Amino acid sequence: MTRVMVVEDDENLRLALVTHLRAAGFVVDEAGDIATADRLLRGTHHDCVVLDRMLPDGDAIEYVHMRRQLGWRAPVLFLTARDALADRVAGFEHGGDDYLVKPFVMAELTERVANLCHRSAFDRPSVLQHEDLVMDCARREVRRAGVLLTLTNKEYAVLEYLLTRAGLPVQRADLIEHCWDAQADPMSNVVDVVVKRLRRKLKEPELIHAVRGLGYRLGAR
């Protein structure tokens, strides 16, 4: 599942951004300042980070510059009301990948985010496979025994995570963390519901097995 971080201190704008990106199919985490964003960014992989430049605890380009020097590679889209050429140049010089001036159209932001996420996807395997189950990550297609499956975004995300750890037990909490955003309740049964649907679509022989007291494992019994 493609995961995006939105860092914006204006609550109304942040809500609009998060709502729009989730409706477009992204998993979205959110923060209102650099400190909160840093904690979330260090704990979870994000395919793109949308950063307001001027935040309550500093200018985000300084944070990005510092993280870039430490090898951080996540694509960054800066949002700002500062439209001077020098400001845009500074954003790129400090490690930004794109720069969008406020006010902007949500459709344009979504397209820019999608492009940056596509760039990030090149760091992942293009194909994941286990036995007769094949996931083409570039095309977002899944086939079992050559038959194309129709999966929801969540089903695809859970299956992708299980495939990357084929043969290993995966905790429900790990699936929640990687396939849902921070609003998901870790005590809910959302994982079990999605896995049940996946099992039905994957058909026999069964590939996803319950691990008692833990979660699930993809592979032979």
**Structure confidence at residue 165 (pLDDT):** 85
SS3 212: coil
Q: Say whether the peptide bond before residue 169 is cis (omega within 30 degrees of 0).
A: no
**Structure confidence at residue 15 (pLDDT):** 95
Residue 122: pLDDT band with limits 50, 70, 90: low
Residue 120: pLDDT band with limits 50, 70, 90: low
Query: In whole numbers, what is the pLDDT of the chain averaged over residues?
Result: 87
Give the residue among 149, 146, 3 at the shortest CA–CA distance from 74: 3
Query: Structural domains in the chain?
Result: 3-122 (3.40.50.2300), 127-218 (1.10.10.10)
CA 57 vs. chain centroid, Å, equals: 25
Rounded Cα–Cα distance for residues 53 and 182 (Å): 23
**Structure confidence at residue 186 (pLDDT):** 55
The residue ranking higher by pLDDT, 81 or 14, is: 14
- Say which DSSP state 206 is in: P
For range 186-192, the mean pLDDT: 76
**Structure confidence at residue 110 (pLDDT):** 94
**Structure confidence at residue 121 (pLDDT):** 58
Q: What are phi and psi of 117, to 5 degrees?
A: -65, -35
**Structure confidence at residue 12 (pLDDT):** 96
